[in-house]
Amino acid sequence: MHPFCEKHRRAVRARPFPPEWLRVIQNNVSYFRLLTPEEQSELQSLIAVFIDEKSFEGCGGLEMTDEIRVTIAAQACILLLHRETDDYPQLKSILVYPHPYHATGIRRGPGNLMMQGEETRLGESWQTGAIVLAWDAVQGGAADVHDGHNVVYHEFAHQLDAEDGAVNGSPALPHRSMYSAWARVLGAEYEHLIQETHRRHRTVLDEYGAQSPAEFFAVATETFFEKPVQLLRRHPALYEELRLFYNQNPALRFADGKP
C-alpha cells in the first residue's frame, strides 16, 4: 500500500465513530452482540475505513442512506476481523437494489447442458470491482444470525476468493504451508456435499454450495459464521481450515448463548 494511503487510513480510524452509525449496527446487525468489546472496537475501525474507501450506489429507485452503508459494511468487515489483510482491495463499488432483482445468468441444465436465462438474485460479486446486493436480503441476513444464510458474507467471500486472481474456492491463504490441507479438506468436503445433495440428504451446508468450488467456499463461510457449532460438530476438519483462514472461532461466541 502507498504510504499516503496508510496515513489517510490512520486518520480515518482516529476519528470518533459516529454514534448514529453505532445505533444502526446495534439495531440491524445481531452478530455485533456476539463480539467482545475489543472486537466491536476493531470492527468499528474497519467499518470507518470501508465506508471511506468504497462507493455505494442505490439502484432500482433505492435512495442510498447511511443505514444501508453501515449495515452492509458491518457485515463485510466481520470477515476481516483479526486478519492481516487489506480491505477488499479489488472492490470499488457496492450496488444496492431495494428487492431481489432480475439478471441474465447461465445455469447447468439436464445432461450438464449450459442454459442462459433470467434469474432472480439476492446478490452477486463481480471480479471487475463491484458487488450487487438486494437490501431486503441484507436486512434479513443481518437480523438472523442462526439461519446459515447471509448474502453479505456470501458475496464478500467471493471477493476474498478473487484476491489471488481466480474465483475457484481457494483464496489467498495466510501461509503457503496451508494450501495442501486446504485443497485436501475443502475438495473432499465439496465432493461430499455433491453426493449428499444428489441423495437428497439434509446437510448443515446449503446445497447451493454443490454448484462449484467457489460457491462451496462462499456457502461454507456463511455456515462458519452462522452455524459454527453444527459445522464444528459435523465437519471438524472444514471448520478448522476456516478457523485458520478467518482467524476467528465463532463456535465459542455461540457457545456463550448470545444473542
State the pLDDT at residue 1: 47
**pLDDT score, position 257:** 52
Average pLDDT, the chain: 91
pLDDT tens digit sequence for 57-107 = 999 999 999 999 999 999 999 999 999 888 899 999 999 999 988 776 555
Domain 3-255, CATH number (from 3.30.365.10, 1.10.10.10, 3.40.390.10, 3.90.1150.10):
3.40.390.10
- The number of angstroms, rounded, from the C-alpha of 230 to the middle of its chain's C-alpha atoms is 19
Q: Is the pLDDT of residue 115 over 50?
A: no
- What are the residues whose beta carbons fall under 8 Å from the beta carbon of 67, sequence distance 6 or more? 24, 28
Sorting pLDDT into bands at 50, 70 and 90, what band is 187? Answer: very high
244/247 Cα distance (integer angstroms): 5
Residue 114 pLDDT class (50, 70, 90 cuts): very low
How confident is residue 118, by pLDDT bands cut at 50, 70 and 90? low
Task: Give the integer Cα–Cα distance in Å for 226 and 160.
Answer: 18
pLDDT one-digit tens code per residue, 125-144: 988 899 999 999 999 999 99
Q: What is the pTM of this model?
A: 0.91
Q: Which of 39, 142, 47 is nearest to 82 (CA)?
A: 39
pLDDT at 116: 53
Delimit the domains of the chain by residue range.
3-255
